[in-house]
């Protein structure tokens, strides 16, 4: 763990609340853009970001230094997002209905990630990821934008590792279908 990060966290735990601002400065943009991509609403993203940092501040004593602080913070953000989704009830259909609607055509998914070097395709990929159902969009954002490993994604989302792998696989298929005219 980065020494400054550890010192800031220890400072907050020991009562120096001013140290928390360094943590906010370090992670605020990442968390905000995570929420903005997920909610597609600037004000909601700001509110969710603020709530995430308030919760992190309130529970920082529960942070375990053996694990990544960023993953711990994203877990809090993920839980904030789940609560927001429940309030908004954006996607009220079941996983089975989603599979019927989106997974009738299967194909290889490896080329989607391998061809991301083209600038125009990068923009199309961002649009396609943004258009994914919430269930898959979050996982793909954590993978592609935040560069988190499968294990980190499983930790953040509190999903079994195999579920994460399956959802990534399915999301890549959806992306392949959305991007097939550019590949």
Residues of the chain predicted below pLDDT 70: 1, 89-122, 182-183
What is the number of residues in the chain? 183
User: What is the per-residue pLDDT for 183?
Assistant: 57
What pLDDT was estimated at residue 121?
Answer: 60
pLDDT attached to residue 77: 92
Place of tokens 């943004």: 130
User: pTM here?
Assistant: 0.60
């Amino acid at each position: 763990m980065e020494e400054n990060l550890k010192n800031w966290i220890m400072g907050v735990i020991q009562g120096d609340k001013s140290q928390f601002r360094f943590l906010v400065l370090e992670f605020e943009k990442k968390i905000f853009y995570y929420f903005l991509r997920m909610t597609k609403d600037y004000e909601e993203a700001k509110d969710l970001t603020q709530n995430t940092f308030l919760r992190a501040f309130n529970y920082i004593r529960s942070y375990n230094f053996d694990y990544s602080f960023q993953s711990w913070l994203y877990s809090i953000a993920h839980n904030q997002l789940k609560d927001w989704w429940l309030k908004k009830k954006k996607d009220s259909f079941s996983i089975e209905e989603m599979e019927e609607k989106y997974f009738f055509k299967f194909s290889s998914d490896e080329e989607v990630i391998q061809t991301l070097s083209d600038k125009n395709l990068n923009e199309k990929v961002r649009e396609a990821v943004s258009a994914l159902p919430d269930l898959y969009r979050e996982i793909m954002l954590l993978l592609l934008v935040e560069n988190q490993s499968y294990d980190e994604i499983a930790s953040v989302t509190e999903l079994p590792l195999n579920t994460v792998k399956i959802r990534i696989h399915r999301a890549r298929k959806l992306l392949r279908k959305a991007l097939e005219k550019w590949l």
